[in-house]
Structure formats: C-alpha cells, structure tokens
C-alpha cells in the first residue's frame, strides 16, 4: 500500500495504491492525521489503484469523517473500482460520504 499526497492550492489529493488492510491502515491514518490537512478545502481520495479495502481501512476514513466535517473540509472519493465501491455501499457509507466517478466531478462536488 502506497499513499502519495499531491497538494494544490486548496486541494489535497491522496493517491492510494494497493490493498488497504489493517497493516497499511496505519500509513493512511498518519497521512490523514496531519494537522495541515485541515487547511485545505478539499481532500480528494484517488481510488483508481485501490484494489481492496478491509474493515480496518474503512475504519480510518470513518474515524476522520467527523473531524473533517467539523473543520469544513470536504472529503471526496473518486475513480473507485466497482469491487471497492460495493464495500462502501454495503456498509452504507455511500449515503454518508461523497463518492464520484471522475476527478473533475470531485473538484466540483
């Protein structure tokens, strides 16, 4: 699992590459825990290369959801593979988180 951060003016894009399970969840958690994250308006999660997500991986997003919302930072997922989207959907997260298809949509959603 590799997490690459691409900061822009008001947007931070995180590229996830690989399987997000209990062991790699720590990496992502460290990234999302950075205080400067709250200075952005948007945090975009590029899931194109995210091939698998476990409950521990979902837990990382869930634990940061409230914090980002409180800081008025919008977290948007895009480019999600169908299999991964199914996991979000079954858990009901699609009703709680913004999940879009393309990066353009993500920039404006």
For other proteins, the binding residues (CB under 8 A) are 22, 29, 55-56, 58-60, 62-63, 65-66, 90-93, 95-96
Among residues 36 and 70, whose Cβ is nearest to other proteins? 70
* 26: CB partners within 8 A, 6+ apart: none
Smallest distance from other proteins to CB 55, Å = 4
Among residues 6 and 63, whose Cβ is nearest to other proteins? 63
Helices marked H in 36-81 — which ranges?
Answer: 55-70
Cβ atoms of 57 and 21 closer than 8 Å: yes
Smallest distance from other proteins to CB 9, Å = 30
Among residues 29 and 103, whose Cβ is nearest to other proteins? 29
């Amino acid at each position: 699992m590799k997490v690459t951060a691409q900061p822009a003016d008001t947007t931070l894009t995180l590229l996830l590459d690989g399987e997000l399970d209990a062991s790699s969840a720590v990496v992502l958690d460290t990234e999302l825990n950075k205080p400067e994250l709250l200075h952005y308006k948007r945090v975009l999660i590029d899931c194109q290369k995210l091939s698998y997500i476990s409950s521990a991986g979902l837990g990382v997003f869930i634990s940061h959801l409230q914090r980002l919302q409180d800081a008025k930072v919008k977290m948007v997922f895009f480019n999600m593979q169908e299999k991964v989207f199914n996991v979000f959907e079954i858990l009901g997260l699609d009703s709680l988180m913004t999940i879009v298809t393309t990066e353009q949509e993500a920039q404006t959603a």
